[in-house]
Amino acid sequence: MEANKTSEALYGYSQEEFMNLKQMDLTAEPEVSALSVRQTVEDKFVHVPMRLHRNKNGAIFPVEIAASVFTYKDRQLICATVRDITARMDAEAEFT
């Protein structure tokens, strides 16, 4: 339904392009992501500490996801907050 300006910058898609994408178009791990989507629908909320996503140019990067289900105009929708955790993972790697 909507993607904010930060999502546009992170993934490289325009608002119009986002409207034609499915969640599976953004993931680099479709099978695992499909399970997370099902879990979100069943549990009404899910926190995924690390998943790999792909931007418009094909670059793969790690993200953290918090998603919940809500109803809008008699449709069940998932609202997700996706955070690029590349810098955090790089910093953690320095300490190991």
Instruction: Tell me the CATH number at 16.
Output: 3.30.450.20
The 3-state DSSP class for residue 20 equals coil
71-87 residue pLDDT tens: 999 998 999 999 999 99
44-69 residue pLDDT tens: 999 999 999 999 999 999 999 999 99
The 3-state DSSP class for residue 46 equals strand
pLDDT level of residue 2 (50, 70, 90 thresholds): confident
Q: Provide the CA 15 distance to its chain's centre, in angstroms.
A: 15
Residue 25 and residue 19: Cα distance in Å, rounded? 12
The CB density around residue 7, as the number of other CB atoms within 10 Å, is: 17
Answer for the pair 44, 25: CB distance below 8 angstroms, yes or no.
no
Domain count, the chain: 1
In the chain, the percentage of residues whose pLDDT exceeds 90 is 86
pLDDT score, position 96: 75
Residue 77 and residue 74: Cα distance in Å, rounded? 9
Domain interval for residue 42: 5-94
